Amino acid sequence: MQIEETNNHIVLHGVTEFDLEQTFSCGQCFRWERDTGETYTGLFGAHPLRIGQQGDVITLYHTTKEEYETIWCGYFDLDADYRAIQAHLARDAVMRRAISAGRGIRLLVQEPFETLISFIISANNNIPRIKGIIARLCEAFGAPVPFEGGTVYAFPTAETLTRLTRADLAPLRAGFRDKYILDAAQKAASGAVDFDAVYAMDYAAAKRELKKVMGVGDKVADCVLLFGFQKYDAFPVDVWVRRVLEHCYPDDAHRSDAAAFARERFGPYGGFAQQYLFYYVRENKIAK
């Protein structure tokens, strides 16, 4: 891959195993929106970006090389060897088909607290509604950030959210999740859930730590570990993933613990397998 800095843009040439549409539509993030045309706009923390793709050329608009190197290269996981990851997983026949469908998916390296709140909001919810609640949360309580002649809003900090009540959150229309949002903020801000320690913990210990938060069960914890802490042996199981496991692994997927089956089968790359399978089942409309 070659990096070109031109006209206040960063242009990446020869990009492989990275497709913006696939990456932003596989259920791992909720703050990226497609513009009119071939670009997307989103934020990482307080850093907004407009990004576009034409084939193997990706353009990061109004971005310096320093911003690319310190923020976006890491966020988009561009230093990882996805070809090697895919080769490892492709020893499984089902995974070969799933990878072929979603070869351009990359796992975004997201901020842990934002990821925790986002997936608490995701429980028993659909993606348009999740995005709406998160957008209202950021507009109401996030710091304003000037961007392309307008204003976007950073994700609110845990400390900001600790000063709120359920009445303050009522306009978000988050329903029963509002008390979970406040509990997560209190435990993150106080250190009752130690995010720094989670990075160093093994999968089982890290999952127990996150489940101290109200409303965080197995699936939400696995999502946060995978997308927020880069625990790539985590394998979140939702209705879509369970469906593809039952369809494609009929002799194994009915085990009581589908996530344990997947971790055993895919090992340290279970999280990557989950994203390929999630995209595969939705794109192919695999029936129940």
pLDDT confidence of 285, banded at 50, 70, 90? low
Residues 160-177 have pLDDT tens digits of 999 999 999 999 999 999
Residue 252 scores a pLDDT above 80: no
Residues 175 and 263 in one domain: no
Residues 191 and 212 in one domain: yes
Which residues 6+ apart lie within 8 Å of 67 measured at CB? Answer: 10, 47
pLDDT confidence of 287, banded at 50, 70, 90? low
> Is residue 215 in a domain?
yes
CATH number at residue 116: 1.10.340.30
CATH number at residue 13: 3.30.310.260
pTM above 0.85, yes or no: yes
Residues 233-242 have pLDDT tens digits of 999 998 888 8
pLDDT confidence of 153, banded at 50, 70, 90? very high
Residues 221 and 128 in one domain: yes
Listed in order, strand segments (DSSP E) in the chain are 2-6, 9-13, 33-34, 39-44, 47-54, 57-61, 144-147, 150-153
Residue-averaged pLDDT of the chain: 94
> Is residue 220 in a domain?
yes
CATH number at residue 251: 1.10.1670
Residues 73 and 118 in one domain: no
> Is residue 105 in a domain?
no
Q: What would the two tokens of residue 56 be?
A: 């193997």
Domain tally, the chain: 3
With left for phi above 0 and alpha for psi between -120 and 50, is residue 20 left, alpha or beta?
alpha
Task: Give the least confident one: 8-12, 187-191, 266-270.
Answer: 266-270
> Is residue 106 in a domain?
no
Q: Are 279 and 26 in contact (CB under 8 A)?
A: yes
Q: Are 227 and 28 in contact (CB under 8 A)?
A: yes
Residues 175 and 118 in one domain: yes
> Is residue 116 in a domain?
yes
Residues 220 and 124 in one domain: yes
Residues 121 and 223 in one domain: yes
Q: Which domain holds residue 46?
A: 2-79
Residues 219 and 123 in one domain: yes
Which residues 6+ apart lie within 8 Å of 236 measured at CB? Answer: 219, 222, 223, 226, 259, 274
Q: What is the pLDDT of residue 242?
A: 86
Residues 155 and 263 in one domain: no
> Is residue 99 in a domain?
no
Q: Are 225 and 203 in contact (CB under 8 A)?
A: yes
Q: What integer is the mean pLDDT of 271-284?
A: 91
Residues 118 and 179 in one domain: yes
Residues 118 and 180 in one domain: yes
Burial class (CB in 10 A: 0-12, 13-18, 19+), 212: middle
The domain boundary residue, chosen from 35, 56, 79: 79
Q: What is the pLDDT of residue 261?
A: 86
The domain boundary residue, chosen from 35, 63, 79: 79
Helix (H, G, I), strand (E, B) or coil at 171: helix
Q: What integer is the mean pLDDT of 100-116?
A: 98
Q: What is the pLDDT of residue 90?
A: 96
Residues 147 and 245 in one domain: no
